[in-house]
Structure 1
């Protein structure tokens, strides 16, 4: 019988090829545009330039994604929102 591992990181967001969906969409738009450039101006140096450009863009998007994770700030909202007055006693931290 096949066993499946539990996926616990579901709240981190969708990732395709190591990129979030928005960065992946930018990558795909650039790849489609570069394919159009290659088709309409077929030249060896243009093909090499497009390949280098797409690889560099992928690396830059991966770097930006990793750098943004370093600068993530704390959540805007508190964990618990309540109308009760705060007495200053924490009963649940024993």
Structure 2
């Protein structure tokens, strides 16, 4: 009897060919545009250039996924959230 592994990591990003969905869609738009250019121009240099361009684009997107260079201005959230008063002065008499 075949056993199936339980999928517990539901927050993992969906990947297609090593790219997230949005970057895979960008890659497919590039491939479709390249195919349209190849259909309407039969030059060998254009075909080789487009193949090279798509390969380089795939490589660049793959590298970007492994090591993103997001711009961070600073910490957005504090490390701890507390209801403790920040001021040492007590406004309520005990």
**Comparing 24-33 with 9-18, which one deviates more in the overlay?**
9-18
Aligned mates of 2:82, 2:26 — CA distance in 1: 41
Task: Report the TM-score, using the length of structure 2 for normalisation.
Answer: 0.70
Q: For 1:38 and 1:9, how far apart are their aligned partners in 2? A: 42
Give the equivalent residue in structure 2 for 1:30: 30
User: Which segments of 5 or more consecutive residues in structure 1 lack a partner in the other structure?
Assistant: 87-94
Map Cα deviations across residues 4-54 of structure 1 (whole Å, 9 max, x no partner): 122333311111000001100100000000000000001111111111110
* Greater helix share, structure number: 1
Gaps of 5+ in 2: 86-94
RMSD of Structure 2 on Structure 1 (CA): 2.7
Aligned length: 83
Larger Rg: 2
What TM-score comes out, normalization by structure 1 length? Answer: 0.70
